Amino acid sequence: MDTQTGAGCIFMNNNLILGGYQKNTISGIGGCMELNENIYENAYRETIEELYDITEIDKTLINDIINMIKPLKILDKHRYKILIHTFEDLEIIIRKCINIKSKLYDSQPNNIQELILNRKYKNDSEIKQLVLLPIIQNITINEYFMDDIRQLII
């Protein structure tokens, strides 16, 4: 029997998906399972950790989220599970996390726009920035646009 190694969440609508920029790449949100966690506890704990850059999360908060939202489906990536959610579900998580103190925000975000746009860049955060990407088969960043981005880096 294979043991589960981790879980994560994808938040999306028909056109866009939320990703996280880390270590020169954009990835999803999620990570390794802790002892005695199920996939839901794992996925939502990792989501909160990576959205807010915190490590101490009240298990009551995670259980409340489990009871409030349900994934549209679950992708099985062998020993890793990905819970597919809507942006509306992410808004519910944001509202449930309103009392979390995060060094990434001067004031707690109330919605997805604030979650993305008001996030401070912290070099030691696992996820440096949140990004919205189009849901398409293949994506490449235009070399001229990359040159523009490089010129903005201080």
pLDDT tens digit sequence for 69-88: 999 999 998 899 999 999 99
Euclidean distance between CA atoms 14 and 100, whole angstroms:
29
For 6-152, CATH number?
3.90.79
Question: pTM, whole model, 2 decimals?
Answer: 0.91
For 91, residues 6+ apart whose C-beta sits below 8 A from its C-beta are 111, 112
pLDDT: is 99 or 139 the higher one?
Answer: 99
Q: What tens digit of pLDDT does each residue of 32-54 get?
A: 999 999 999 999 999 999 999 99
Pair 131, 26: CB distance under 8 Å: yes
Q: How would residue 154 be classed by pLDDT, with cut points 50, 70 and 90? A: low
Under 8 Å between Cβ of 86 and 11: yes
pLDDT band at 2 (very low <50, low <70, confident <90, very high): low
Q: Which tens digits make up the pLDDT trace of 90-102?
A: 999 999 999 999 9
Q: What is the mean pLDDT of residues 123-152?
A: 91
Q: What angle do CA 140, 44, 25 make, to 5 degrees?
A: 20
CB 7, CB 82: distance < 8 Å: yes
Domain ranges of the chain: 6-152
Contact 100, 113 (CB under 8 A): no
Mean pLDDT of 59-78: 96
Mean pLDDT check: name the lowest of 2-6, 10-14, 55-59, 110-114: 2-6
Whole-Å CA distances, 37 to 13, 43, 59, 125, 144: 28, 10, 11, 23, 45
